[in-house]
Structure 1
Amino acid sequence: MTTPYDHLPAVPALTLTSADVEDGGEFATAQYSAMFGVPGGEDRSPQLSWSGAPEAAKSFVVSVYDPEAPTPSGFWHWMVVDLPADTTELPSGVTELPGQAWTVKNDARAAQFIGSAPPAGATDHYAIAVQALDVASITELGLDAEATPAFVSFNILPHVVARGVITVIGRR
């Protein structure tokens, strides 16, 4: 399965795993969206662990993106930036982020994880990514809380020194 990251410049791989979801598997009910009315959904972010960051890594960006959402531009469900370089995991349903990390407003303009909510009868493939950056904060790139996930992604691209991606299925 290809991901939206496959057409970007190649970088070393991070190992990305999760106790809640597996690469190629389906989201659990908790990772579906209550905000968008999915029965049983909790908008609970999945647990994520990563390893293999190079010495140049000064921070991490974690994101969940649905390129198959029924829009011309997909849908950004979650983006956490400025995770300290010594961070190697986020717990399920994380509410307190380490260091100076913060959550970028997603495409619903909410600074939180929004779970899977494909249209009824649809199956979408979500790219969960962890990217290591050679900057400690995206503010060094002139970005602030008004930046969208797509704009953050565009601006961090030359600063990505490693990346791990898993694809998870959302189905209704």
Structure 2
Amino acid sequence: MDLTRPTAPAPYDLLPPTATFEVTSESFTDGDDLPEAQVFDDWGFSGGNLSPQLSWSGAPEGTKGYAVSCFDPDAPTPAGFWHWTVVGLPADTTSLPEGAGVEGGAQLPEGAFMTATDYGTKAFGGAAPPQGDIAHRYVFAVHALDTDDLGIDDSVSCTVAAFNYLQHTIGRAVITGMYRS
């Protein structure tokens, strides 16, 4: 593995700008390493495979719903790697508990659902960079939306969900965790 390869651009820097607001996590600090709780639990990893706790505030006026995602732009693929997407979060939602991304979504608010990740599951999939690769960025984003209905269901991939929610994003809050195996 080439430890000197450049990192990919920050994914949301390539999109039209939106309003910003704040997201924090009790599970990790922005820019710091993710704890083992947020690491994958297969492929030779023995993490907890739990989505982190997230809280947000200051979304723009006109927010009618949210989508939450986790994307690794540093995955050694031409398209990065989607670790998690939740859509259908009501406008009055301001946090998700650690573990909200477990399969079945029992801790998600009514109406919210997860789409299929690049792991092929409808659940959070933790950090799992190739052994010896550069430190990967796990970009957790809360997207404030101008609609409460994206017209999609849980049969779509994270990429299709992003295509839809990015057309309705009026604000975005981002927090990034790092991980290297």
TM-score tier (shorter): over 0.9
| Alpha-carbon distance in 1 for matches of 2:58, 2:35 | 27
Match of 1:135 among 140, 144, 147: 147
Q: Which residue identity lines up with residue 25 of structure 2 in the other structure?
A: S
| Alpha-carbon distance in 2 for matches of 1:145, 1:87 | 19
Whether contact under 8 Å (1:3, 1:167) holds in the other structure is no
Identity of aligned residues (%): 45
CA distances 1:35-93 after superposition (whole Å, capped 9, x unpaired) = 33313x01100000000112211110001000111221111000000100000000001
1:33-112 pair list within 5 angstroms: 33-39=40-46, 41-94=47-100, 95-112=106-123
Match of 1:161 among 167, 170, 173: 170
Structure 1: gaps (5+ residues): none
1:144: how far off? 2.2
Measured at CA, do residues 138 and 37 of structure 1 come closer, stay the same or move farther in structure 2, by a change above 3 Å? farther
Structure 2: gaps (5+ residues): 1-6, 101-105
Bigger CA drift: 67-76 or 109-118?
A: 67-76
How many residue pairs match? The answer is 168
TM score, norm. by length of structure 2 = 0.88
SS at 2:165's partner residue? helix
| Alpha-carbon distance in 2 for matches of 1:137, 1:25 | 34
Does residue 18 (structure 1) correspond to residue 25 (structure 2)? The answer is yes
Match of 1:150 among 159, 165, 181: 159
| Alpha-carbon distance in 2 for matches of 1:50, 1:35 | 30
| Alpha-carbon distance in 2 for matches of 1:107, 1:26 | 22
TM score, norm. by length of structure 1 = 0.93
Q: Which residue identity lines up with residue 156 of structure 1 in the other structure?
A: Y
